Amino acid sequence: MTDLAGKHIVLGLSGGIACYKSAELCRLLTKAGATVQVVMTEAALQFITPVTMQALSNRPVLTSQWDAREPKHMPHIKLGREADAVLIAPASADLMAKLAQGRADDLLTLMCLARPLDRVPLLLAPAMNREMWAHPATQRNAAQLQADGVVVLPVGQGDQACGEVGDGRMLEPDQLLELLVAHFQPKLLVGQRVLVTAGPTFEAIDPVRGITNHSSGKMGFAVARAAREAGAEVTLVAGPLHLPTPWGVKRLNVQSALQMQAAVQAEVAQATVFVAAAAVADWRPAQAAEQKIKKDGCGLPPALRFVENPDILAQVAASERARTGALFCVGFAAESHDLEAHAQAKRVRKGVPLLVGNIGPATFGKDDNALLLVDGHGVLPLPHASKLQLARALVAEIARRLPSAG
């Protein structure tokens, strides 16, 4: 994973039990390709040692503005100039209050005040007791920080170290990594509402059996994440999958093609972009048995009659909003051979401006892929890469084709 390759991140730790999560966060940041400089407050030293953070960051941890190792004793100036971003995790109520007031009585707050505002973003991951988080003073400070251009990340909800339950937990390290990566992505879809379908459908034969396919849903989930990174409001209609929901994405779980159709119909009126990445089953049993079908000893399977499932993409593409350009539709085609010819034909048959083709057996279940984008002007191959990288490239192509792009 190289989402942060070439980025230099200053990771600040203020006092709080959530410092234990900062160790894993540091590891994930370096694994994503970033160089990490850790800065700790005196209070943070009560929860985790600099030795731990130094081992994970491979850099000496800075704790004092009077550090004699720094030329001219000005680490707060150098740190801010070198960083691509400053992420404080955990950000305590006290630290947020100091930053909101412009106070600078330790290295971390000094650095935040001295950083170049126009090019070094400051992101805070709050962590505190639920009552402290809900207190009007904390909420007032958070609002002031946001007005000053600071990115105040959401808090988690759940069990707290004090024994209480509620809002105020620091987000998990993988969530913080995802949000930091998203911060650096171009905001190409701000103001857009994107509806994505992903994964297979499951068509029941009886209560324990059914018909499905090899789709893992990873490409559709990657598209949902990439669209959210690009600033869109995203709804994901997912078939029977156990993939984690991308941060900030609204997820609707379905099983069958008919359920997916109903979910899409309920959401598509608010969408401006529809990406049909799901591998919807073409047929379903005409009627599912109410009880498990038993073998009768004859050696032959039971006779099943099938009916065709609705074509969700074609129905949406034929709607008035799609025809007038208010809704941009993107289809997917998973083929086994003759990709370009089948993808061209499917684009025309479905009536969509853009169709994404791939060789299904070569990518099912994998984290990488190669795509072929097909529109009315020809084809554009997207070479082999991770599905998230391909999803970001696809999002850029969608943004370029939207009417608002001019």
| Residues that are catalytic | 162
Nearest alpha-carbon partner for 11 in 58, 72, 73: 58
Cα–Cα distances in angstroms (integers) from residue 50 to residues 79, 125, 150, 294, in the given order: 17, 20, 26, 64
For the sheet with 122-126, list strands across it. 35-40, 8-13, 85-91, 122-126, 151-152
Nearest alpha-carbon partner for 176 in 56, 297, 87: 87
d(CA 168, CA 136): 14
Quick check: helix, strand or coil at residue 303?
Answer: coil
Residue 61 makes CB contacts below 8 A (sequence gap 6+) with 38, 39, 40, 50, 53, 54
Measure CA of the first residue to CA of the last residue in the chain; give whole Å. Answer: 34
DSSP string spanning 231-262? T-EEEEEE-S--PPPPTT-EEEE--SHHHHHH
Residue 168: left if φ>0, alpha if ψ -120 to 50, beta else—which one? left
Chain-centre distance for alpha carbon 240: 19
Q: Are 137 and 96 in contact (CB under 8 A)?
A: no
d(CA 89, CA 176): 9
